Structure 1
Amino acid sequence: MKTKIWAHRGASEYAPENTLEAFELAVRQGADGVELDVQLSKDGELVVIHDETLNRVSNHKGYVAEYTLKKLKTFHVNKHFPQYGKTIIPTLEEVYQLLKPTNLTINVELKTSNNFYPGIEEKVIALADKLGMSDRLLYSSFNHYSLLRLKKISSNVKTGILISDIIVDAPDYAANLGIDAIHPRLNILQIPDFVKSSKEKGIEVNPWTVNDETQMRILAEQGINAMITNKPDVCRKIVEKRKLE
């Protein structure tokens, strides 16, 4: 199986993360999918941004949930890439509309660990159904209750647990919850037989964030389902080279 390449917040090594520009670049760089983060604005709109606050990516401050969508659209999120000019926070629907003509998988991370954003699970499923995108999506979260809620709303949704710390028998844990994938921090793959055990239970493994070329080669050789990377162009070259060997 050829390992897939998912662009972490888009091609975020080269463009402002979680923007239409970063997702468009990921498509051009040959990604098989993108990973993005979704929260709710003050008026309940699905917006794509990672941090609960604006501080890191914008010259504005405060929590995303404190602002309406109209106000959020006036902020620029190009703090680390000023050359991109007036990049703005996209809605989840805008990202879907951009990527709909492609065949890319979209990994939607629900940012419900700190702010639970009541109703966000219903909103993401309703949007996917509205646009006919349900079969292209995989939902992930550090809040595993969010994933169970998604499954309760729609039993056909595909889900992946995000883990950043060591969990004993994580593949068993995922399987027992009826989860489809594990999205581990890269260092967790040091656990003996982690990938093998996951595969035996029918659980996909999609580690983050894979930016080192040596690590990319190792994971491609292991037959990981997908690598979540800031550098989809570099990862593409390595995966294609392995395919030819």
Structure 2
Amino acid sequence: MKIIAHRGLSSRFPELTESAFRAALELPIHGIETDVRLSKCGEVVNIHDPIVDRVSDGFGRVSKLNLEELLDLNFGTKETPEKVLTLNNLLDILGDYPDKHIYIETKHPMRYAIMLEEEVTKILRYRGLEKDPRIHIISFALPAIQRMSRLAPELDRIHLRRSWERWGNPGDHRCGTPTGLGVSIERAKVDPKLIGAKGLPTYLFTVDKQKDMQWALEHGVDMLATNYPERAVELLKAAPQPPMYANAHGKEE
């Protein structure tokens, strides 16, 4: 089971900041997860919410602030101020950890729609990463997954199931071409057959209780996103994956 630090080591550091990502990347885990949006000037920035009020000392919509305005805000603490990270900044940091993976969640809906995936692809292509197996694109928006299948077809693309799909899509019907499927821990426990559905690897989010991590391990989850990656590391050390368990690809482990 691959452990992914959700928004960096967000349980100990301000989410999506350099300190959170570097602390996570120092752990013996698979990789990190980030959320990206477009600023007013078209810069891809690592911010989860559509507004900056919760995560900074400023206010306003990300899409209405240019990069200079965002850089004036503090996304850290009063004691340790931190600037907003662009996707380019984060990829620079990732370059110091060549064995680690990154899961880039494109956030929708947003006013710039298709432009977000286009800008992400431009950045990856410029860096020669548009075919890199360490780069994974994830999104709740199926159109975003479809766009990435056209813009960067060799990248891993994980479609995250929304909570309403439990009722609105009980048969788990899926159009488009995702290479992986995501599900919340809450929905997975209600309907475990979603793990490995369509013969695709499963990305489970956001799993913070160790008993849920154990459940995920026992049910053959491929990727586990958590705010507490240290707990998952401890679990894997104490309880290695059960032998002869058929994973989502039909192979015994």
Name the structure 1 match of 2:187: 188
Secondary structure, aligned partner of 1:56: coil
Say whether residues 1:98 and 2:100 are aligned partners: no
Name the counterpart of 2:59. 61
Stretches of structure 1 that go unaligned for 5 or more consecutive residues are: none
Closer, same or farther: CA 87–225 of 1 in aligned 2, 3 Å: same
Alignment partner of 1:207 is 2:209:
no
Structure with more of its chain in helix, by fraction: 1
Q: How many residues are matched?
A: 234
- Output the CA distance in 2 between the equivalents of 1:226 and 1:118: 27
Which consecutive aligned stretches of 4+ in structure 1 deviate over 4 angstroms post-superposition?
none
Q: Which residue number in structure 1 is paired with residue 107 of structure 2?
A: 111
TM-score (structure 2 length as normaliser): 0.87
Q: Matched residue of 1:145: which SS?
A: helix
TM-superposed deviation, 1:101: 3.0
Residue 19 of structure 1 is matched in structure 2 by 17
Which protein, 1 or 2, shows the higher relative CO under an 8 Å CA cutoff with sep ≥ 6?
1
- 1:106 match: secondary structure: strand
1:88 partner amino acid: K
**Equivalent of residue 234 in structure 1, options 218, 231, 240:** 231
Aligned-pair identity (%): 26
2:177 paired with 1:178: yes
Counterpart of 2:239 in 1: which secondary structure? helix
Q: TM-score, normalised by structure 1?
A: 0.90
* Alignment CA distance shift 1:35-1:157 (3 Å): same
Structure 2, unaligned runs of 5 or more: 243-253
The corresponding residue for 1:126 is: 122
What is the aligned partner in structure 1 of residue 171 from structure 2?
A: 169
Contact 1:208-1:227 at 8 Å conserved across structures = yes
Write the distance in 2 (CA, Å) between the matches of 1:50 and 1:244: 32
Tell me the SS of whatever aligns to 1:123. helix
**Aligned residue in 2 for 1:222:** 219
- The SS at the match of 2:208 is coil
